[in-house]
Amino acid sequence: MDSKDRQIVRALQRDGRITNQALAQKVNLSPSPCLRRLRNLEESNVIRGYSAEIDPRKYGLSLLAFISVRLTNHTKETVTNFESQVRLIDEILACYLLTGVQDYLLHVVVKDLDGYDDFIRNRLHSIGCIASIDTSISYSIVKHTAVYPEI
């Protein structure tokens, strides 16, 4: 990736619905080379897809939680089971493998505290192999962006 590719990526992160014509203008290319670069970025999986950014509260998911999970052990079977089960749970938007005391950080959205209780009791606990869960609930979002910094 060169700086022109990064300009294309950042422009698309800001507006995924931008036309090729407008994108080309924004990054100072003619439309044909811009489209060629875009297709190359898609084919090489630098750009993995396009989606809409949704306000979770307006969607009906007003409780945002960050849940730290520590596993009972770290055998290949335990890790594989946990990770495969996490991939199946829609309320988990992201799961990060961590260094340090905790093993994973889950980014979770649910409707409300009752939804959180149901999620913990019936979705997360059912995975098994969890030694501890530590939750932080977000009551406000100070900054949220999908645009990567320039490098």
CATH, residue 112: 3.30.70.920
Full domain range(s) for residue 61? 56-138
Say how far apart CA 104 and CA 37 lie, in whole Å.
Answer: 36
- Predicted confidence at residue 68, as pLDDT, reads 98
Quick: pLDDT tens for 69-87: 999 999 999 999 999 999 9
User: Average pLDDT, stretch 136-151?
Assistant: 92
The whole-model pTM stands at 0.87
Quick: pLDDT tens for 38-49: 999 999 999 999
Count the domains in the chain: 2
Asked whether residue 38 falls in the same domain as residue 65, the answer is no
Rg for the chain, CA atoms, rounded: 20
- Predicted confidence at residue 29, as pLDDT, reads 97
Q: Give whole-number Cα distances, 82 to 2, 59, 62, 142, in Å.
A: 38, 28, 26, 31
